[in-house]
Amino acid sequence: MSIGTTTGTDAASRRPGRTAAPPASGAERRGPVARMRRHLGRYWQLWVMLAPALIVVIVFAYIPMYGIQLAFREFDPTKGLTGGEWVGLKYFRQFFESPLFWDLMRNTIVISLSTLVLGFLAPVLLALVINQILHSRLKRFVQTVTYLPHFISIVVIVGMLQVFLSPETGLITRFLALFGLDDINYLGSTTAFVPVYVLSDIWQHTGWNSIIYLAALAGVSTHLYEAARIDGASRLQIIRHVDIPALVPTMVILMILNMGGVLATGFEKIFLMQNTLNLPVSEVIATYTYKIGILSSQFSYSTAIGLFNTVINFAFLVLANQISKRVTDTSLW
Partner 1 sequence: MSTDTLRTARTRRLSRRVGRRLGRSDLLFMSVISLILAAVLFATLYPLYFVLIASISDPTAVATGRVLLLPKNLSLFGYEQILADSRIWTGYRNTLVYSVVGTMLNLVVTLPAAYALSRREFRPRRPLMLFFAFTMFFSGGLIPTYLLYKDLGLLDNWLVFILPSALNVFNLIIARAFFENSLPEELFEAAMIDGVDYFRFFTTIALPLSKALISVIGLYYLVFHWNDFFTGLVFVRDYDKQPLQIVLRDILLSNQAFSGGAGGAGGSGGAYGQRYADQIKYGVIIVSTLPVIILYPFLQKYFEKGVLIGSVKG
Determine if 34 is a binding residue for partner 1 (CB under 8 A).
no
Rounded CA separation 248/159 (Å): 36
Determine if 15 is a binding residue for partner 1 (CB under 8 A).
yes
**Dihedral pair phi/psi, residue 292, rounded to 5°:** -65, -45
Determine if 148 is a binding residue for partner 1 (CB under 8 A).
yes
Query: How many CA atoms, within 13 angstroms, populate the side-chain half-sphere of residue 170?
Result: 19
Determine if 248 is a binding residue for partner 1 (CB under 8 A).
no
**Which residues partner with 86 through β-bridges?**
73
- Three-state DSSP class for residue 333: coil
Determine if 20 is a binding residue for partner 1 (CB under 8 A).
yes
Contact 324, 331 (CB under 8 A): yes
Count of other CB atoms within 10 angstroms of residue 73? 21
Q: Which of 22, 159, 245, 280 binds partner 1 (CB under 8 A)?
A: 159
Q: Which of 262, 317, 320, 324 binds partner 1 (CB under 8 A)?
A: 317
Q: Which of 89, 117, 121, 129 binds partner 1 (CB under 8 A)?
A: 129
Determine if 197 is a binding residue for partner 1 (CB under 8 A).
no
Count of other CB atoms within 10 angstroms of residue 287? 20
Number of residues that bind partner 1 (CB under 8 A): 105
Determine if 145 is a binding residue for partner 1 (CB under 8 A).
yes
Determine if 212 is a binding residue for partner 1 (CB under 8 A).
yes
- In angstroms, give the least distance from the CB of 7 to partner 1: 6
45 vs 276, beta carbon nearer partner 1: 45
**Which residues partner with 73 through β-bridges?**
86
Rounded CA separation 162/188 (Å): 10
Q: Which of 126, 198, 251, 263 binds partner 1 (CB under 8 A)?
A: 126
- Three-state DSSP class for residue 86: strand
Residues 173-192 that bind partner 1 (CB under 8 A): 174
Rounded CA separation 120/251 (Å): 8
Determine if 50 is a binding residue for partner 1 (CB under 8 A).
yes
- The Cα-based distances of 328 to 251, 295, 313, 314, 321 in angstroms read 11, 45, 22, 21, 10
Residues 83-122 that bind partner 1 (CB under 8 A): none
Segment near partner 1 (CB under 8 A); pick from 26-34, 62-70, 93-101, 190-198: 62-70
Segment near partner 1 (CB under 8 A); pick from 53-61, 87-95, 97-105, 111-119: 53-61
40 vs 117, beta carbon nearer partner 1: 40
100 vs 148, beta carbon nearer partner 1: 148
- In angstroms, give the least distance from the CB of 43 to partner 1: 6
E-assigned strands of the chain?
Answer: none
Determine if 306 is a binding residue for partner 1 (CB under 8 A).
yes
Determine if 158 is a binding residue for partner 1 (CB under 8 A).
yes
Rounded CA separation 232/60 (Å): 59
